[in-house]
Structure 1
Amino acid sequence: MILTNAQIVLADEVIKGTLVIKDGVIDSIDHGNVSVSSAIDCNNGYVTAGMVELHTDNMEKHFTPRPGVRWPAMQAFKVHDAQMASAGITSVFDAISIGDVIEGSERLNNLTRMVGALNESRERGLTRADHFLHFRCEVSHQDTLENFNKLMKQTPVQLVSVMDHSPGQRQFAKMDKYREYYQGKYKLSDAEMEAFITRQVDASAKYSSPFRKSICETCHELNIPLASHDDATLAHVEESHDFNMVIAEFPTTAEAAHAAHKKGMSVLMGAPNVVRGGSHSGNIAAHELASAGVLDVLSSDYYPASLLESAFMVAHLESNDYDIPKAMRLVSLNPAKAVGLNDRGEIAIGKKADLIWSTLEEDHVHIEQVWKSGQRAF
């Protein structure tokens, strides 16, 4: 396959030229265009590396599209997979939640269904993107450690993150934001909300520390990369670093982000945060970390189409030094390196031909085509 008349975004520069793909990998990169009849003319659009998504919970919504509706697992997964590929995400770490803040949630009911559908789809070669398993462990939930240990014996896992969404700390240091979010989500009365807060605080005090320690020890034994979540203070970052965590997911303050970055952890923020211009929880805005030079990775989190959009937005912000190559590394090379995927994430000879052809319209990025290992995925 030949792509020509393209603005090819390499790791450190953009060149106008031609790509040749053979046997699913990049065979050559050349300046200038070719007139071969079989070449795909990219019309001076951007060709970038396929994106690597480390933390998305997008799958969940397809398994329970409405309250009380349990969609067939394989169909639900295939829709999620197609949505990721159409967004230019060719490597996906599906963040499946072990534990929740409320008992009997659909998230917990769908846990084994989601894991099973992901594994079966991979085994049968039915995926458009490469999918990896990411366990996001809510350590303040009483069943988290038991479920984690059980699942770790049943299925291979490529990434684990550890989190505590109890009120008054981390993501929800601001209690008004906590009430707004959970009261709206679960339709709780004021009295029910206060009881809910009490239960969450008590559960965190009982389970969070021992569960965090045990899960991290297991991951170290199995050489599974670890990510912290919602670190807010220097103490949080020190704890994460002591547990040898390599990724700092969604730090909530500039102080925590700077400290994590200084310690060599990859600071990951949400692409929706960039697109919306700030955090829905009232925490630090991703563009502020970009301006400070401590933003390393972007994740689409709950909105796949935000990822490529956010990279171009970061590249065009006036208050930072992220040009297009550096901004694209936030969604491709940097996340790939953070989890040890050394065969992808950049346009370079010998790397996987995971590619996106896109054009910049007036107010958004338009994806023309997506390839995984040289095969059309969208």
Structure 2
Amino acid sequence: MTLPLLPDLHLTGARVLRPGGLTDAPLGLADGRLVGGCPGRAVDLSGWWVLPGIVDAHGDGFERHLAPRRGALRDLGDGLAMAAAELAVNGITTAMLAQFFSWEGGMRSPDFAEAMAEAHATLAPSQAVDLRLQLRLEVSLIDAFPCAAALIDRHDIRYLVLNDHLPHAALAAGKKPLRLTGQALKSGRSPEAHLAMMQALHDRMAEVPAALAALMAARPGLLIGSHDDATPEDRQHWRALGARVSEFPETRAAAAEARAGGDPVVLGAPNVVRGGSHAKKVSAAELVAEGLCSALASDYHYPAPRQAALKLASEIGIEAAWGLVSSGPAAMLGLADRGTLEAGKRADLVILDPDTGRVGATIAGGRLAWLGAELAARFLA
């Protein structure tokens, strides 16, 4: 069941973030789009801000809803619905759900990716928030590439991110990788079987470029990125393989190489909120200040894009800061119909309390995704 569109509305009294900055001009919504005129019933939003809906380019926070505890998988459709609610309450109107397709097993396994994609196909059309799939492909899993390709085609996945989590240094030296036993148990394998599998994958890495080239050549419209570039050489390597987005580069040098090559850079919003990387990598806020960021993503925490943008606003201004979670990621993902509040675009917007930074309402595609108690009386009057 598709949610109904809101009736035509005339939002007045708020500070509205349009291209060029905050203005007091009213905002009109009609037929799920933003309009230049002021049709419909007036809703007084005095004291609030109206901002473009957040476009989250990469997030796996949905996993905690699918499995509240390790191994405690519940109904995937119900879990995704709860994730959509969390997205909406945090002002996210478009969300890339980053699903692994990996040898690591568990919720990262190919089988789980298939089940999650099926649940998404059933649930997504009924949600106001635009839920999209990103596939995180472990590049060493070349024998499963045909299954990954079929999954991409069947579920219209438009964003592929290349990962390589093999501990190559240890495997090349014939050493036992760190945390082997825990990872093996998580995957459902014995430590011996898990090590043998990783070694076999490591031994075939020379075959990866040709296998990736074949997968990509058949899908020319696919947006492709790499994850955790550590050096400029890493970025050059992945760019040569067709990955033109750098997700979460670990160093300034890698991020600078990405931007010098015209590649978008996605950074983690939690890094900004925390004041630094929890893994002791480069500071996202410092990269933002240097102009080395195209988009901030939720990564593992859906409140983080909103929190990070508001934190950065005092340094770079609200328009530039909010652009990192709206227009920037929308442009990167090729979504020209959203990201800014302009006539003709999707009615994707978040109504924010500027004093607390909390969301009072979220409208996605002209549909009510979230309405808090503070604004309920104004909308329902």
Same fold (TM over 0.5): yes
In the aligned structure 2, how far is the partner of 1:287 from the partner of 1:326? 13
In the aligned structure 1, how far is the partner of 2:278 from the partner of 2:164? 18
Matched residue SS, 2:24: strand
Deviates more, 1:17-26 or 1:205-214: 205-214
Task: Sort the Cα spacing of 1:75 and 1:212 in 2 relative to 1 into closer, same or farther, 3 A.
Answer: farther
Specify the alignment match of 1:375 in structure 2. Answer: 367
Equivalent residue for 1:284, pick from 282, 285, 288: 282
For normalisation by structure 1, the TM-score amounts to 0.84
In the aligned structure 2, how far is the partner of 1:18 from the partner of 1:302? 35
Q: Does 2:39 match 1:41?
A: no
Q: Equivalent residues in 2 for 1:17-166 (5 A)?
A: 17-28=25-36, 38-100=41-103, 102-104=104-106, 108-122=110-124, 125-141=125-141, 144-166=144-166
Deviates more, 1:239-248 or 1:304-313: 239-248
CA shift at 1:303, angstroms? 0.6
Equivalent residue for 2:342, pick from 328, 344, 348: 348
Specify the alignment match of 1:176 in structure 2. Answer: none
In the aligned structure 2, how far is the partner of 1:197 from the partner of 1:206? 14
Please say if residues 101 and 108 of structure 2, whose CA atoms lie closer than 8 Å, have aligned partners that are also in contact: no
Specify the alignment match of 2:19 in structure 1. Answer: 11
Task: Sort the Cα spacing of 1:351 and 1:70 in 2 relative to 1 into closer, same or farther, 3 A.
Answer: same
Task: Sort the Cα spacing of 1:116 and 1:187 in 2 relative to 1 into closer, same or farther, 3 A.
Answer: closer
Deviates more, 1:249-258 or 1:332-341: 332-341
Equivalent residue for 1:257, pick from 252, 255, 258: 255
Please say if residues 327 and 338 of structure 2, whose CA atoms lie closer than 8 Å, have aligned partners that are also in contact: yes
CA-to-aligned-CA distance 1:5-60 (integer Å, 9 cap, x gap): 11111233221221011111111279xxxxx9942222232211111111111222
Amino acid of the structure 2 residue aligned with 1:252: E
Please say if residues 134 and 159 of structure 2, whose CA atoms lie closer than 8 Å, have aligned partners that are also in contact: yes
Instruction: Give me the CA root mean square deviation.
Output: 3.1
In the aligned structure 1, how far is the partner of 2:239 from the partner of 2:37? 39
Unaligned ranges ≥5, structure 2: 1-8, 171-175, 186-190, 371-381
Matched residue SS, 1:265: coil
Specify the alignment match of 1:191 in structure 2. Answer: none
In the aligned structure 1, how far is the partner of 2:205 from the partner of 2:266? 22
For normalisation by structure 2, the TM-score amounts to 0.83
CA-to-aligned-CA distance 1:323-344 (integer Å, 9 cap, x gap): 2111111111111111211111
Q: Does 2:336 match 1:328?
A: no
Task: Sort the Cα spacing of 1:41 and 1:290 in 2 relative to 1 into closer, same or farther, 3 A.
Answer: same
Equivalent residue for 2:202, pick from 191, 201, 205: 205
Runs of 4+ off more than 6 Å: 194-201
CA-to-aligned-CA distance 1:279-298 (integer Å, 9 cap, x gap): 12111010110121111100
Paired positions, count: 353
Q: Percent identity?
A: 27
Matched residue SS, 1:316: helix
Amino acid of the structure 2 residue aligned with 1:357: I
Amino acid of the structure 2 residue aligned with 1:138: E
Specify the alignment match of 2:273 in structure 1. Answer: 275
